[in-house]
Amino acid sequence: MAAGGQMTARSAARGGMPTLVIFQASLRALLTGKRWIVVVVLDAIFLLLAVLLATQSDIATHQLHLVELFHDLGLPALLPFVALLFSTEALGAEVEDRTLIYLTLRPLSSASIVIAKFGAAFVITLAATWVPLIVSFVLLSLKATPAGQLPALLLGGAIGSAGYCAVFLLLGLLLRRALLIGAIYVLAWEGAIASLSTSAAHLSVRFYTFGVYAGILRRDEFLNGDPYPAPAAAFIFLLLVVLAALWWTARRVRRTELK
Amino acid sequence: MTQTPLPTAAVDFAAAPAVPDGATIVMRGVSKWYGDKVALSDVSFAIGPGVTAMLGPNGAGKSTTLRLLTGQLRPSRGDVRVLGEAVVDNPALYRRIGLVPEQESLYPHMTARGFLEFSARLYRLPDPAAAAERALNLVALLDVADRGLGGFSKGMRQRVKIAQALVHEPEVLVLDEPLSGADPRQRVELMGVFDEMAAAGATVLISSHVLSEVERMGSNVLVLVDGKLAAEGDFRQIRDLMNDRPRRVRVLCERPRLVAAALVQLPGIVELRLDGGGIEVETNDARAFAVAVPRLARDAGARLTGIESLDESLESVFRYLVE
């Protein structure tokens, strides 16, 4: 009996690389579902506030308001919750409905499964967070003097999303109530404890994301004296968080009990 | 169906460490425990190409065994090999193994064809569309291939699960309750598919509790009871080894009362009763009984029309083993 057939370069191209195949399927799965209602609500709130700030405040303060919007709503709510909704779903849904077996019992490395899942969650989080960030930038920079905010918003948002996605992907694999635990982390740890204690803040994705954002922005007059780590250190820390979380997820993905 | 004959009694690997020739699935001294709960205890067996059924009551360790064989679980002790290779942390081996899992769930957002092509791509098959088409045809799902899996009935989902396990033409096929939800006609067709695979040289291991179906698929069995291997091999030969169990036989003849009166004098008769037009007998010496019956019937002037064994069925053997 033939075992699967031999793969050639041409056949691989026609069949698609497995990581890409899983990425595409995961993306399609994440594009549906009720979680989008919450994402749309979060995006709408962010945009509504941007519109209010753009129309109700003095033009001279628009750039400051854009920083505040990112600092007070984008960082603590938009990024983590959008990432939480998609990342816990990316693997957690398959653990929950026991379809993960259709990936883990295929001739693929664990890393390729996890990278595909992370990629799908990250891309969709990026899309769902960059749109309100770009629109708010446009609204608050139309009449104001541009202050180089767009790269900071997009890169800060992207790097923060990567950190959150990696952590929440792991959470989705390990915990049945990953959404709840993740929300508690965002609200209780990052929102309350880390905002009161600098040492606790060092154990939060938000702190380092803000460091990257602030480092790219380089406008201390907008930053209200908030402490933030050196941008390079923040970037390296977030990179390490992403790599460690993905490594751990890959290590566990084939050992997850599908009850 | 071709069956490679392998040892008919459980293999004692401690005494005979060599793996039987042709064995494709081998477990040696495998134990699996979860905390202080023992799911499998020192199980050893070897099976080769052909259909083998894994039987056992609920909680006997069947699912644990299948999970160990497909690398979903790591043994607490012992060695599991499929096609000569260790299964754990060996994803390359999955190219040669197909699994029909117990759980029903499938990706609801995919069509049957989409799911099969998805699977074929993950196996890096040269022509995923053709492989999906072939597998769908095998399980008679071509007419609903483009419908969403979310709307499939239990029987249809079951066939999709079987198709995904066949899409890459595996050398070893492991099936956990593969026929549940299928209607009688589909069951016959699916059993035919498994038979064809076995005839082509594949190893087909089926866990099932529907003994009548298992019996139709072949005679090679593994019987697990309380996490231990109770028996391995051809169930008829296993029955032959159960010397402590009297044989139940029905004798069909004319003048049954006269024949019964003669039969009761035979050595080894445990019980004898008239049953309709025949005589139902339990005997400890089936061989002597078989030799004596024609002579006794002739002596009684009764025409013997048949002798049939009542407990050589798989169900009887299974019942004896688990009691």
Name which of B96, B121, B157 to mutate to probe chain A: the one with the most chain A Cβ atoms within 10 A of its Cβ. B121
Nearest to A141, CA basis, from A43, A35, A74, A50: A50
Nearest to B127, CA basis, from A107, A28, A19, A8: A8
Query: What does the pLDDT read at residue B13?
Result: 45
Neighbours of A87 (CB within 10 A): 32
Residues of A in contact with B164 (CB under 8 A): 102
Distance from CA of A211 to the nearest CA of B (A): 39
Given A8, A21, A106, which is nearest B126 (Cβ)? A8
Reported as a single tens digit per residue, the pLDDT across A170-187 is 999 999 899 999 999 999
Domain end, chosen from B211, B239, B267, is at: B239
Structural domain contains residue B19: no
Domain end, chosen from B216, B239, B262, is at: B239
Query: What gap in Å lies between CA B123 and CA B125, rounded to an integer?
Result: 5
The burial class, CB within 10 Å (0-12 / 13-18 / 19+), for B24 is buried
Residues B80, B186: one domain? yes
Residues of B in contact with A15 (CB under 8 A): 120-121, 124-128
Reported as a single tens digit per residue, the pLDDT across B111-143 is 999 999 999 999 999 999 999 999 999 999 999
Distance from CA of A87 to the nearest CA of B (A): 18
Residues of A in contact with B74 (CB under 8 A): 255
Domain end, chosen from B207, B239, B271, is at: B239
Query: What does the pLDDT read at residue A54?
Result: 81
Q: Do A258 and B72 touch (CB under 8 A)?
A: yes
Reported as a single tens digit per residue, the pLDDT across B134-183 is 999 999 999 999 999 999 988 899 999 999 999 999 999 999 988 877 77
Q: Strand (E) positions, chain B?
A: 25-34, 37-47, 50-55, 77-82, 85-86, 97-100, 172-176, 203-207, 220-225, 228-234, 247-253, 269-275, 278-283, 304-309
Enumerate the β-bridge partners of residue B306. Answer: B252
Residues B220, B278: one domain? no
Residues of B in contact with A29 (CB under 8 A): 107, 109
Structural domain contains residue B298: yes
Average pLDDT over every residue of A141-146: 70
Cβ-Cβ contacts under 8 Å for B100 (sequence gap 6 or more): B161, B162, B165, B173, B174, B175, B176, B178
Structural domain contains residue B178: yes
SS3 B40: strand
Neighbours of A190 (CB within 10 A): 21
Cβ-Cβ contacts under 8 Å for A17 (sequence gap 6 or more): none
Phi/psi-derived region of residue B132, left when phi > 0, alpha when psi is between -120 and 50, beta in every other case: alpha
Q: Do B200 and A22 touch (CB under 8 A)?
A: no
The domain of B315 spans: 242-322
The CA dihedral of A76, A79, A82, A85, to the nearest 10 degrees, is -70
Domain boundaries, chain A: 16-253
Q: Do B170 and A1 touch (CB under 8 A)?
A: yes
Query: What does the pLDDT read at residue B271?
Result: 87
Given B96, B107, B197, which is nearest A3 (Cβ)? B96
Query: What does the pLDDT read at residue A15?
Result: 47
Contacts of residues B261-268 at CB distance under 8 Å and 24 or more positions apart, as own/partner, are: B262/B296, B262/B299, B262/B300, B263/B292, B263/B293, B263/B296, B266/B292, B266/B296
Structural domain contains residue B20: no
Per-range mean pLDDT, top range of A221-230, B100-109, B302-311: B100-109
Half-sphere exposure of B267 (CA within 13 A, CB side): 4
Average pLDDT over every residue of A132-140: 88
Provide the pairing of β-strand B247-253 with B97-100: unpaired
| Count of domains for chain B | 2
Residues B102, B142: one domain? yes
Residues of B in contact with A32 (CB under 8 A): 109
What CATH code is carried by the domain that includes residue B202?
3.40.50.300
Query: What does the pLDDT read at residue A8?
Result: 43
pLDDT at B241 over 70: no
What CATH code is carried by the domain that includes residue B284?
3.30.70.100
Q: Which residue has the higher pLDDT, B82 or A219?
A: B82
**B103 touches A: beta carbon within 8 Å:** yes
Query: What does the pLDDT read at residue B9?
Result: 39
Given B70, B109, B171, which is nearest A3 (Cβ)? B171
Model confidence at B11, pLDDT cuts 50, 70, 90, reads very low
Predicted TM-score (pTM) above 0.90: no
Query: What does the pLDDT read at residue B278?
Result: 86
Residues B94, B190: one domain? yes
Half-sphere exposure of B161 (CA within 13 A, CB side): 27
DSSP letter (8 states) at residue B146: T
- Pick the residue from chain B with its C-alpha nearest to A31: B109
Q: Do A101 and B202 touch (CB under 8 A)?
A: no
